[in-house]
Amino acid sequence: MPDCARCSLFQLESENEGCLHLNRPGGLELTNTALASCKLPASASVLDAACGAGATLQSLRDQGYGAIGIDLSMEMLRKCALLTTTQAHCNQVPLPSLSQDAVLMECALSLSNEMVSALTEFYRLLRPGGWLVVTDIYIRELHDPQAMDCLTGSSCLSGAKTEVEIRSKIEGAGFSIRNWQDQTLVFKQWLARMVFKLGSLDAFYRQLSACETGSQALANTLGNKIKLGYYWLSAQKTG
Amino acid sequence: MDQTRLRELEDQCIQECAPPCAAHCPVHVDVRALTSAIATGDFQTAFKTLYKTVPFPEIIARTCNQPCQAACYRKSVGGDIQVAALELACIQRYDHLITKPMLLPQKDARVLIIGGGLSGLTAAFELVKKGYQVALYERENRLGGRLWSYNEDQLHGEVIHREIERIIDLGIEVHFNTELTPASVSSLQFDACYLGTGAGASNPFNLLTNPNHSLQVNTDTFQTSQANVFAGGSLLRPPSTIFSVSDGRRAAISIDRFLQNVSLTASRVNEGAYNTRLITNISKVDSVEIVPPAPTGYSVADAIAEANRCLQCDCMECVKVCEYLKHYGSYPRKYVREIYNNLSIIMRTRTSNKMINSCTLCGLCEEVCPTDLNMGVVNNEVRQTMVKTGKMPPSAHDFALRDMAFSNDARVALNLTADGSETCDYLFFPGCQLSASNPEYIPKLYQSLASVLPKLGVMLRCCGAPADWSGEQELFAQTMLEFKTQWLALGKPKLVLACTSCLRMFSTALPEIETLSAWQVFEAHTLFPASRQYSRSLAIHDPCTSRYVDKWQDAVRTGLDAMGITHHELEMSRDLTECCGYGGVAWLAHPELVQDILKRRASEDEADYLTYCVMCRDLLAGQGKPTLHLLDLIFGENLDQLARRKGPDYSQRHENRLRAKEKMIKLITGKEHPMTESYERYTLLLTPEMRVTLEERLILVEDVQKVIEFAETSGESFKNQQTGHTLAFFKPNLITYWVEFSREGDAWRVHNAYSHRMELEGRAS
Amino acid sequence: MSDSSLDSLKSQWTCGKCGAPLEVASVNVSYLGSGYPVDMLVCKNCKRPLVPAELALGKMLEVEKLMEDK
């Protein structure tokens, strides 16, 4: 579960455009596509886990959902003043069991140190047949498993997982994945914006990792050994 | 691909079939594992391997007639492996390791064994291990039967006693000096019986016999005419200790099944000696003489030397010749299974997708495979399934498919007859990549062909290979249909091709179309220029799609001779030729693997290569291997430089296709294409450094000229207040070229040139 | 483009067609169907954009590779 201070990858744009939760790859359009795949009832209750500054939350409310947001960062939550939010960790959401029709988690699942316990908590919150909707980064190609070490020093990338790992964790928590859509193009477009903003991918990697030398290794890793991708998925609580 | 097809394909790969030694051994001693262990000095593991299948290791090692040797692939290259002597070398060192085997909990059923020879003892051993109560009746006062007929030097009585006692001690009830008769047998309590009494013994059960008085015995189950009586050993066949052990064991399996009341016959294939399907290629194996054992047995060093002679028989024919099959560390039987799993589960693993898409589909595996398994066909089939079921990653072949779409766009494709008539007799189809690599050759080649072929038309477009290779069946069919429609309208001309991949596509999808290669036309009309020279002998690299196309292969060789070019064959040539890595769009899926493929091919011969596929040429030359295209020899100047030139990049390839079209329109109609060459009047002043910059940035002189022409005629440019230089851009097609220049007299001095592919769309809203 | 390099270019170049000075504007550049707003110099009148070598061979090339990369 991220607080936004940890989320350096997507906070790069934070100064004027907010962090990823505002300006994540694909934006609201992607969120709405993913949500639409669930065909939620008109006034469904939706939890936005790691809601950030509340852009999605606002959109959910505008669409008529009973939307509640949680985030660890009070700073972020203050920006959501007119919305229903509470400061909470994904592992301990102060909501009753079987109370939600959907849980949405955008660009945060791989940041979570405790992905499994967060998924377990979401399972608890959801009604039978309820939906889990996730958008996030994943490892699209892994040519050298040892290259994973190189990501460790780079904040949020350290939690990135392969599709197989993500699927098995989500299904292991009792969900059935109904949709998995690769959105790597959207991620690349986002990276391209970074290039124009910061000057080069290298400059981007330098911001990601603490030091110069780290950025070299990271650039090499992300160029050759690991290819990142982006996805949205929707999964249903079964069994 | 369904389960049945998977099984068939798996079965077609013989890599996991037993080596001939183990297959011909009736108890299937794993000789390959045994020699493998000895070869590393590990006699202990070797001994365990032997004892696993042979309960009397020393008796067998000293008496076995070694059916393994008759089938040994080493036999013809130095002599068969001395298996028994090697076994003995292990036994002498590790016999003491034998421990009492695990016995299953005792059962109520009681089995009678008649005859204490090797087959009866083996049956007793197997059945007592399974928990049966075993009672053995022996006519003589000692066990071993025929074993006592060997002389002491070969098989000492002490060995017989030791190895048999070890068996009896497991709890077998033995009755000596008891020859059973019909009368005495009827008084005994038993549930099943094994008869191992040797040749010419009495028949206490009055079992049915054959006309020659031998017992009627089922050779698969060893069952006699009485359901609970089984027979084997030398009463069935000429004496052989190893076959006696085999019979005893197999009869014991039947007895166990009989007593458990399950099928005697189900899944009992290859139980005794059989012919394996495994084939090992020994054509490159050097002969090595047998290392004979000393009279006292092998020394450690000699045993290791002899074991090292073992070929460790397997197949791996395809893996040996294919970098792709080698890369994934296994062999087709396993790959087929992995590919099937990748298809059948929803949870995709990227590695298998990549594996499926990394095959060049070149078919060399089929050519070398003893059973003609073609992994290319499998991979292509699976790609088609993936496309159909939406499991193909959308990015997998997109780039190649867009390239194909570009070639077949109306802007780029060309369909032109010579004299403006509607039809033609011949249609020159050079292929999209020849236009892309060497547009200057297209009009030259056309002119040569037109000088001998009446009514020659020309068609510039892509044959559809990228769609076929990507598993995009529908797109491929549609591409072929577009072609066929035009071909019909042209009056069904004969196709004159210059690319073997085009040939493959047309001959597969439209076999009714008559094709011939440009090289065959050159050959038939002696168009090859005489007295061309190249400093060294060229090695011929046949394109992978020329496999089995002798006419093309021959015409190229004839052409080289006609031009006076010295040439020689690569070891892997003609039907054995290797793909450069372009086939099957492998270069897109796995560029690193393609580098390995190219390195392998490039290092096969020190000579420079000659090929007749531009993609082979460009890829090999890109890898640093000087390679000429046949057309370089026919039309090119400065061959040394041509052999070393790098191929154009992808954008340049697009530009080149357009250029080829311009040139052909001009040649045939005499009319300028809208993209005129008026820019050529802008004479450039280029420093050597600037020429290098242009080369590195893949900007041609004509690109620079076009920018200057545009700036000078339109005035659309920028002026530098300090230097007086002009900066302007022009976008002829896809790439935007920028040039900074200044006028010097009648010429233009170039100060900088660069390009980008991103498009400028004007002000963002 | 950094502000300083934009300023430096602005002081050097004028429009060759109309002679007008250049100004900074956001120009949409696109590749393979994806567009991005980039600040660059354009002619005040004609609005024709100026892509300096640094931009073409730097950020634009990097994005081209990124978008083409599998």
What confidence tens digit (pLDDT) does each residue in B717-743 have? 999 999 999 999 999 777 899 999 999
Chains with ≥3 Cβ pairs under 8 A against B?
Answer: A, C
What is the arithmetic mean of pLDDT over A106-121?
83
**Does residue A50 belong to any structural domain of this protein?**
yes
CA angle centred on B758, ends B757 and B764, rounded to 5°: 160
How many CB atoms sit inside 10 A of residue B561's CB?
12
Tell me, yes or no, if A141 comes closer than 8 A to chain B by beta carbon: yes
- Identify the pLDDT of residue B700: 77
Measuring CA to CA, which residue among B731, B729, B738 is closest to residue B697? Answer: B738
Q: Which domain holds residue A65?
A: 8-140+158-183+230-237
What is the arithmetic mean of pLDDT over B294-317?
96
Distance CA A144, CA A190 (A): 25
CB contact under 8 A, A168 and B347: yes
Preferred mutation among A139, A143, A144, A178 to probe B, highest tally of B CBs within 10 A: A143
Kindly state the DSSP code that residue B584 receives in the 8-state scheme: G
Q: Is residue A155 pLDDT above 60, yes or no? A: no
Domain assignments of chain C as residue spans, ordered by start: 3-68
Q: Which residue has the higher pLDDT, A25 or B626?
A: B626
Distance CA B252, CA B258 (A): 10
Q: What is the largest CA-CA distance in chain B?
A: 129
Measuring CA to CA, which residue among A6, A88, A75 is closest to residue A47? Answer: A88
Q: Which residue has the higher pLDDT, B49 or B403?
A: B49
Residue in B with minimal Cα distance to C27:
B763
Q: Which amino acid is at B601?
A: R
Interface of B with A (CB under 8 A): 347-350, 354, 393-395
Tell me, yes or no, if C38 comes closer than 8 A to chain A by beta carbon: yes
Distance CA A115, CA A156 (A): 13
Looking at the complex, report in whole angstroms how far the Cα of residue C3 sits from the nearest Cα belonging to chain B: 18
Residue in C with minimal Cα distance to A188:
C67
Kindly state the DSSP code that residue B56 receives in the 8-state scheme: S
* CB pairs < 8 Å spanning B and C: 95
Phi, psi of B689 (to 5 degrees): -65, -40
What is the arithmetic mean of pLDDT over B521-530?
96
CB contact under 8 A, A164 and B395: no
Distance CA B627, CA B605 (A): 12
Nearest to A141 among B347, B348, B350 (CB): B350
Preferred mutation among A185, A196, A227 to probe C, highest tally of C CBs within 10 A: A196
- Identify the pLDDT of residue B761: 80
- Identify the pLDDT of residue B508: 95
Bridge partners, B174 (sequence order): B136
Angle between helices B83-94 and B31-39 (to 10 degrees): 60
Contacts of B301 (CB under 8 A, 6+ apart): none
10 Å CB burial of residue B173 (0-12, 13-18, 19+) is middle
CB contact under 8 A, A185 and C63: no
Tell me, yes or no, if A144 comes closer than 8 A to chain B by beta carbon: no
- Identify the pLDDT of residue B488: 97
Task: Provide the chain C residues 2-21 that lie in CB contact (below 8 A) with chain B.
Answer: 11-17, 19
Residue in C with minimal Cα distance to B734:
C31
> Model confidence over A164-213: pLDDT tens digits?
889 999 999 999 999 999 888 888 888 898 889 888 887 777 766 655 55
**Does residue A225 belong to any structural domain of this protein?**
no
Which helix (H) or strand (E) covers residue A230, if one does? strand A226-237
Nearest to B715 among C17, C27, C35 (CB): C17
Kindly state the DSSP code that residue B223 receives in the 8-state scheme: B
Phi, psi of A127 (to 5 degrees): -75, 160
Chains with ≥3 Cβ pairs under 8 A against A?
Answer: B, C
Average pLDDT, chain B: 92
Task: Output the CA–CA distances (angstroms, integers) from residue A125 to A103, A104, A237, B547, B555, in the order listed.
Answer: 8, 12, 10, 63, 75
Measuring CA to CA, which residue among A76, A70, A165, A173 is closest to residue A118? Answer: A173
Q: Does the CA dihedral A24-A26-A28-A32 come out positive or negative?
A: negative
CB contact under 8 A, A189 and C38: no
Query: Which position has the token pair 């390099």?
Result: C5
CB contact under 8 A, C56 and B716: no
Q: Give residue B58's Cα distance to chain centre.
A: 42
What is the arithmetic mean of pLDDT over B338-359?
70
> Model confidence over B671-686: pLDDT tens digits?
876 555 678 789 999 9
Tokens describing residue B58: 């020393």
Tokens describing residue B411: 């802007």
Contact B144, B162 (CB under 8 A): no
What is the arithmetic mean of pLDDT over A56-61?
92
CB contact under 8 A, A192 and C67: yes
Alpha helix locations (H) across B235-360?
Answer: 241-260, 300-308, 317-321, 323-327, 332-344, 350-358
Nearest to C14 among B588, B719, B761 (CB): B719
Bridge partners, A46 (sequence order): A67, A102
**Does residue A46 belong to any structural domain of this protein?**
yes
Contact C45, C54 (CB under 8 A): no
Tokens describing residue A76: 């972020």
> Which of the four pLDDT bands, split at 50, 70 and 90, describes residue A12?
very low
* CB pairs < 8 Å spanning A and B: 16
Percent of chain C with pLDDT over 90: 67
Contacts of A165 in chain B (CB under 8 A): none
Q: Which amino acid is at B742?
A: S
What is the arithmetic mean of pLDDT over C45-67?
91
- Identify the pLDDT of residue B395: 58
> Model confidence over B75-122: pLDDT tens digits?
999 999 999 999 999 999 887 778 888 899 999 999 999 999 999 999
Nearest to C47 among B721, B754, B762 (CB): B762
CB contact under 8 A, A188 and C58: no
Number of domains in chain A: 1
Contact A198, A12 (CB under 8 A): yes
What is the arithmetic mean of pLDDT over B313-328?
96
- Identify the pLDDT of residue B340: 80
Contacts of B351 (CB under 8 A, 6+ apart): none
Could you list the beta-strand ranges (E) of B367-454.
414-416, 426-429
- Identify the pLDDT of residue B710: 96
Contacts of A167 in chain B (CB under 8 A): 347
10 Å CB burial of residue B526 (0-12, 13-18, 19+) is exposed
Contact B243, B146 (CB under 8 A): no
Q: Is residue C16 pLDDT above 90, yes or no? A: yes
> Model confidence over B189-211: pLDDT tens digits?
999 999 998 877 778 888 888 88
Tokens describing residue B433: 């990549």
Preferred mutation among A17, A23, A189, A204 to probe C, highest tally of C CBs within 10 A: A189
Q: Give residue B136's Cα distance to chain centre.
A: 54
- Identify the pLDDT of residue B353: 79
Tokens describing residue B192: 């099943």
**Does residue A220 belong to any structural domain of this protein?**
no
Nearest to B350 among A140, A167, A168 (CB): A140
How many CB atoms sit inside 10 A of residue A227's CB?
16
Contacts of C53 in chain B (CB under 8 A): 738, 752, 754
Contacts of A189 in chain C (CB under 8 A): 34, 36
> Model confidence over B35-65: pLDDT tens digits?
999 999 999 999 999 999 999 999 999 999 9
Phi, psi of A26 (to 5 degrees): 95, -25
Contacts of B395 in chain A (CB under 8 A): 184
Kindly state the DSSP code that residue B383 receives in the 8-state scheme: H
What would the CATH number be for the domain defined by C3-68? 3.10.20
Contacts of C1 in chain A (CB under 8 A): none
Tokens describing residue A57: 């939350």
Looking at the complex, report in whole angstroms how far the Cα of residue B338 sits from the nearest Cα belonging to chain C: 23
Kindly state the DSSP code that residue B359 receives in the 8-state scheme: -
**Does residue A132 belong to any structural domain of this protein?**
yes
Nearest to A196 among C38, C67, C69 (CB): C38
**Does residue A94 belong to any structural domain of this protein?**
yes
**Residue A148, phi-psi category: left (phi > 0), alpha (psi -120 to 50), beta (remainder):** alpha
Distance CA B716, CA B702 (A): 19
Tell me, yes or no, if A145 comes closer than 8 A to chain C by beta carbon: no
Of A24-28, A119-123, B338-342, B659-663, give the lowest mean pLDDT range: B338-342
> Which of the four pLDDT bands, split at 50, 70 and 90, describes residue C53?
very high
> Model confidence over B586-597: pLDDT tens digits?
988 888 999 999
Query: 3-state class of B456 per DSSP?
Result: strand
Nearest to A164 among B347, B354, B394 (CB): B347
Residue in C with minimal Cα distance to B396:
C70
Contacts of B348 in chain A (CB under 8 A): 163-164
Distance CA B235, CA B142 (A): 19
Tell me, yes or no, if C4 comes closer than 8 A to chain A by beta carbon: no
Tell me, yes or no, if A192 comes closer than 8 A to chain C by beta carbon: yes
Residue in A with minimal Cα distance to C70:
A227
Looking at the complex, report in whole angstroms how far the Cα of residue B354 sits from the nearest Cα belonging to chain A: 9
Measuring CA to CA, which residue among B225, B229, B250, B253 is closest to residue B180? Answer: B229
What is the arithmetic mean of pLDDT over C31-46?
90
Tell me the CATH number at A55. Answer: 3.40.50.150
Sheet bearing A45-49, strands edge to edge: A85-87, A66-71, A45-49, A100-106, A126-142, A226-237, A175-182
Contact B623, B647 (CB under 8 A): no
- Identify the pLDDT of residue B394: 60
Contact A118, A111 (CB under 8 A): no
Measuring CA to CA, which residue among A30, A80, A33 is closest to residue A55? Answer: A80
Of A89-103, B303-317, B340-354, B487-501, give the lowest mean pLDDT range: B340-354
Residue in A with minimal Cα distance to C60:
A196
CA angle centred on B584, ends B581 and B587, rounded to 5°: 45
Contact B698, B756 (CB under 8 A): no
Q: Which residue has the higher pLDDT, B589 or B156?
A: B156
Distance CA B39, CA A22 (A): 66
Alpha helix locations (H) across A126-200?
Answer: 148-152, 163-172, 184-198
- Identify the pLDDT of residue B444: 96
- Identify the pLDDT of residue B212: 80
> Model confidence over B616-671: pLDDT tens digits?
999 999 999 999 999 999 999 899 999 999 888 766 787 799 889 989 999 999 88
- Identify the pLDDT of residue B98: 83
Measuring CA to CA, which residue among B649, B733, B655 is closest to residue B697? Answer: B649
Tell me, yes or no, if A140 comes closer than 8 A to chain B by beta carbon: yes
Query: 3-state class of A117 per DSSP?
Result: helix
**Does residue A77 belong to any structural domain of this protein?**
yes
Which helix (H) or strand (E) covers residue B444, if one does? helix B441-450
CB contact under 8 A, C68 and B399: yes
10 Å CB burial of residue B429 (0-12, 13-18, 19+) is buried
CB contact under 8 A, A167 and B347: yes
Residue in B with minimal Cα distance to C13:
B720
Contacts of B516 (CB under 8 A, 6+ apart): B494, B495, B496, B497, B551
